[in-house]
Amino acid sequence: MILNQSLVASDAFEKHLINKKRKKHWGIKAMGFTLMLTSMVDMFSMLVVFLLQTFSSSPEIMVTKGIQIPDSITPSVVKEAPVLALSKDGNMYLDQKLVGKTISILKKPNNLLNKLNTIKSQWASSHSTPFAGEINLQADKEIKSTSVATIMGILTTSQFQSIELAVIGHR
């Protein structure tokens, strides 16, 4: 058996140099096997955020400020649709924008109908599916049911066949 002459040491100083050479090469090899965890953690956190946004169970709608939604024991899943809100101070809002006073709109609904037609035309351009005639109605607890029924009648004449009344569900 032939030993490598460069690795056989005769004195302590040579042994020290050989060990130093071995450690030097071992450190270089070990650097090749390290993982950059920061990049991987960033990638996984972006993946988690993407999945949470993509697979949300249902869309959320904002309740217009100053409206107290009635309670219900039979809630349903919220659908993505325009939101018409009736507040107790007499104002009517369509997608968080003031339309006018409820009393004047009940007498002359042309302003509301024009805004609803605009929403229907914008829906077709911003969504991949055609407009399904759905709308979410938020009415304060203190609004008379006759006013809500009249508004619902106006909505059905404007081709909004599916009207979802916003309620707070308790199970």
Same domain, 81 and 37: no
Residue 2 resides in a domain: no
Give the pLDDT band of residue 132 (cuts 50, 70, 90). Answer: confident
Residue 7 resides in a domain: no
Distance CA 131, CA 122 (A): 9
User: Which residue in 109, 88, 164 sits closest to 132, CA to CA?
Assistant: 164
The separation between CA 23 and the C-alpha centre of its own chain, rounded to angstroms, equals 54
Same domain, 30 and 82: no
Beta bridge partners of 139: 86
Residue 36 resides in a domain: yes
pLDDT of res. 25 = 58
CB distance 84 to 94 below 8 Å: yes
Residue 121 resides in a domain: yes
Structural domain span for residue 154: 71-169
Q: Which pTM value belongs to this model?
A: 0.58
- Which helix (H) or strand (E) is 71 found in, with range? strand 71-72
Same domain, 33 and 78: no
